[in-house]
Structure 1
Amino acid sequence: MKIDKIWCLLVLGLASCGTPSTLDVEKELNYGVSQIEATLTAIPDGNPNIPRNIREDGKTWRYVDYKDWTSGFWAGQLWYAYEFDDKLELKEAAERFTSELKPLAYEPVIDHDLGFQIFNSFGHGYRLTGNESYKNVVLAAADSLATLYNPVVGTILSWPRSVPNMEWPQHNTIIDNMINLELLFWASKNGGADSLYDIALKHAETTMENHFRDDYTSYHAVVYDKDTGKRIKQVTHQGYADDSMWARGQSWAIYGYTMVYRETKDVRFLDFAQKVTDVYLEHLPEDLVPYWDFNAPDIPDAPRDASAAAVVASALLELSQYLPQDKQQLYRSKAEGMLKSLAKHYHAAPKNSALLGQSTGHYPAGTEINTSINYADYYYLEALLRQKNYSKDGYLARSND
């Protein structure tokens, strides 16, 4: 990003740089609650019953069961809605959909997404209610996730099964896995084994060494030799090309290393979080919502990814508080600009009950393109709550410390 554009944001204000001038956080949170309540009225009896994304008709939800990697985002939205609105019916719905995910903590692990699934549901439930049974599930899930750790490689296995281009049975790790480390950090500080902290720390270090190009853009996946730990290849499974910057992958890196710094207070991670952030910000379009891949050949006609913008907005509200005033001010203004842009231009279509539209899931596979997806809504609510709860002590972290 050019210097004059940065100073436009800092000095002249966001309105003069192509983003809306104000953000009514309470209005957006109320909008989110009303959309969630509308979704609740449409959920079918029986399974699958967890809303994941809006179908191609633009109106109806596609539902998944508890094993889907996105299953925890819906329960998480309900907990965030309850945190804001304090309605008994929201709490009851959050408890209902959280309880459906309990088997994940005790069944054989099918992938690395237990953090997304369990920490976003039982973790928030414990934070908001103090229910000890929720804590027990979180701790069990952390132990289960740790079984995927390969100490020779130094990372958690992401997909313990055959996935195209992943050289199974070699060891694969995807950038998304950075978010799931929070489950391990939290468990280690709340009654779990100290080794959980060590696993999370080593995973973050190994990923930092192997998952990034010289310009700090992220590969989606790295494949390692499971027996020697040697890196075999770096690929971008859900991006445009192996050497492209897939927007959501970069957002996971920004969010993940911000969280790792919070949990470790190791300045290596604070420095790295800024590096992966700055390259993302440098290449954003004017409205601060990225195309699904920064190197997509059909820009400016390529689909956007509002989910990446929501993840980064939430991360920057936290990251900003750890930095000196000049960088803090830049990141805060960027995050607030992202939220304003999402509020003004990226609401879901009026005919459905999601919060945001124009997210992209797996473009190369032709799935969830330019639609509403539950994790976009989850991180949008999280970012709005962080913005609302800002105080002299900083933006509230997502963690349940």
Structure 2
Amino acid sequence: MTIAPEMLDARYSAPQPDLSQSWLREAIAGVLTQLDTMLPRFTTTFPAASASAGRYPAVEKVDWTEGFWTGMLWLAWEVTGDDKYRAVAEGLLDSFEERLDKQIKVDTHDLGFLYLLSCVNAWKLTGNIRARDLALRAAELLYRRFNATAGVIQAWGDLNDPARQGRMIIDCNLNVPLLFWAADETGNSAYREAAVRHLSQAARYLVREDASTFHTFYMDIHNGQPLRGDTHQGFSDSSCWARGQAWGIYGFALGFHHTGDTTQPELARRLTHYFLNRLPEDYVCYWDLVFTARDNACRDTSAAAIAVCGLAELLKILPLTDPLRPAYVNAIALIIRNLSTHYFAPPQDGLLREGVYNFGRNMGINEPNLWGDYFYFEALVRLSRVWTPYFC
């Protein structure tokens, strides 16, 4: 049964100034200046997942996030045509190849984040055959994580570990595009079928009736029955982790692009309303949507940036006559302007201050993080031109 979305908060009905091309050019120029200060330090290594005291340590093949650095380099190359960005991004293919060859940190669904933003985009933008081959190898590894009985891609860890089997998480909505791409590239329909089934299970079990989301959900891999939902990074099992809600908005909007399933954008709309209706006065979310102004909670700017990209993707799908389009356009303007005005990071490393990696584990709190930086840059590029997302 389809459940209607919450009524959208009246705050978004008031007309907002347009995001002019001059404003967007200035915001993108600020991003490029910041990337240029970081570039000399990260030509053979990567910024860590999150900054420490405002500065990114250098790492190599240790996390799920390295692709966001190459993603920003490719965005910068698309925007400027300057081959210094392309040269570094292509040079880092060595690291992504070694990761596959030596099986370093590849027991994860985050192969999508890693290889869509480093290799698939390199293939699409420049015809780099090596990048294509690496991405196809990564897609095969991701496909092996699919359990046909449960209909889900296992999030993390050894596929034979009973404690991890059958666990899907909302983040995977942004990883399954690697399988859709590989299916189109090779003609292997099994990749597409796995991605479609996973998205279907995510819609059925990760999304609650009120359009909030579980971070994680367990399926029985032996009989396919649902077991339980819980959280890995949210405030509680029953709360709504802000970044997870943003992954859902973006991922279900992308689902329509890949499948043509009209239930996907409607689901993205429901998640969007839940998200927008729980934003504080400056429209930049707390790290969990359970919090209000009286809780003095940390923001998560990365979740805000992801949500903007997801809402922009949703707008590409909705009819021009959709009565809520003006409110969604206003919401995008409110969020992105406040991120740019109040949370842009210089003189630190990174693009956005006040991100949260994992609050419960005291990781990356009130610091820039690499995915927040990437999606902020993507949002600006999306809004400034006609652009094909790297997740399409």
Q: Same fold (TM over 0.5)?
A: yes
Letter of the structure 1 residue corresponding to residue 47 of structure 2: I
Structure 1 residues 217 and 131, CA gap change in structure 2 (3 angstroms): same
1:282-301 map, 5 Å:
282-296=277-291, 299-301=294-296
Structure 1 residues 172 and 4, CA gap change in structure 2 (3 angstroms): closer
Structure 1 residue 365 displacement after superposition: 0.6
Task: Give the match's secondary structure for 2:308.
Answer: helix
Q: Distance in 2 between matches of 1:52 and 1:117?
A: 12
Quote the residue 1:74 is aligned against. Answer: 69
Structure 1 residue 240 displacement after superposition: 0.5
Quote the residue 2:13 is aligned against. Answer: 7
Kept after mapping to 2: 8 A contact 1:23/1:340: no
Quote the residue 1:178 is aligned against. Answer: 173
- 1:359 alignment partner, one of 355, 358, 369: 355
Q: Distance in 2 between matches of 1:14 and 1:235?
A: 40
Quote the residue 1:28 is aligned against. Answer: 27
1:224-373 map, 5 Å:
224-296=219-291, 299-324=294-319, 325=321, 326-350=323-347, 352-373=348-369
Kept after mapping to 2: 8 A contact 1:73/1:375: yes
Kept after mapping to 1: 8 A contact 2:13/2:330: no
- 2:209 alignment partner, one of 197, 211, 214: 214
Question: Is 1:398 matched with 2:359?
Answer: no
Structure 1 residues 110 and 275, CA gap change in structure 2 (3 angstroms): same
1:37-52 map, 5 Å:
37-43=36-42, 49-52=46-49
Q: Distance in 2 between matches of 1:127 and 1:230?
A: 39
Q: Distance in 2 between matches of 1:139 and 1:259?
A: 20
Task: Give the match's secondary structure for 1:241.
Answer: coil
Number of corresponding residues: 381
Structure 1 residue 386 displacement after superposition: 0.7
**What RMSD in Å do the two structures reach over aligned CA positions?**
2.3
Structure 1 residues 187 and 195, CA gap change in structure 2 (3 angstroms): same
Quote the residue 2:375 is aligned against. Answer: 379
Structure 1 residues 3 and 246, CA gap change in structure 2 (3 angstroms): closer
* Residue-by-residue CA offset, 1:105-156 (whole Å, 9 max, x unaligned): 4555411100000001111211221112211211221111000000000000
Task: Give the match's secondary structure for 2:228.
Answer: strand
Q: Distance in 2 between matches of 1:23 and 1:239?
A: 38
User: TM-score, normalised to structure 2's length?
Assistant: 0.91
Letter of the structure 1 residue corresponding to residue 287 of structure 2: W
Structure 1 residue 299 displacement after superposition: 4.3
User: TM-score, normalised to structure 1's length?
Assistant: 0.89
Structure 1 unaligned blocks of 5 or more: 391-395
Quote the residue 1:133 is aligned against. Answer: 130
Kept after mapping to 2: 8 A contact 1:321/1:328: no
Structure 1 residue 373 displacement after superposition: 0.4
Q: Distance in 2 between matches of 1:303 and 1:400?
A: 29
Structure 1 residue 248 displacement after superposition: 0.2
Kept after mapping to 1: 8 A contact 2:301/2:353: yes
Q: Distance in 2 between matches of 1:400 and 1:172?
A: 23
Kept after mapping to 2: 8 A contact 1:167/1:223: no
Kept after mapping to 2: 8 A contact 1:258/1:319: yes
Kept after mapping to 2: 8 A contact 1:105/1:114: no
Kept after mapping to 2: 8 A contact 1:113/1:177: yes
Structure 1 residues 169 and 183, CA gap change in structure 2 (3 angstroms): closer
* Residue-by-residue CA offset, 1:168-227 (whole Å, 9 max, x unaligned): 153211111111011111111122511111100000001111112110111111112221
Deviates more, 1:77-86 or 1:166-175: 166-175
Structure 1 residue 43 displacement after superposition: 3.8
Structure 1 residues 21 and 225, CA gap change in structure 2 (3 angstroms): same
Kept after mapping to 2: 8 A contact 1:258/1:269: yes
1:81-160 map, 5 Å:
81-106=76-101, 108=103, 109-160=106-157
Structure 1 residues 239 and 298, CA gap change in structure 2 (3 angstroms): farther
Q: Distance in 2 between matches of 1:242 and 1:167?
A: 20
Deviates more, 1:256-265 or 1:185-194: 185-194
Q: Distance in 1 between matches of 2:278 and 2:213?
A: 14
Kept after mapping to 1: 8 A contact 2:34/2:346: no
Quote the residue 1:193 is aligned against. Answer: 188
Structure 1 residue 88 displacement after superposition: 1.7
Task: Give the match's secondary structure for 2:364.
Answer: coil
Task: Give the match's secondary structure for 2:365.
Answer: coil
Structure 2 unaligned blocks of 5 or more: 1-6
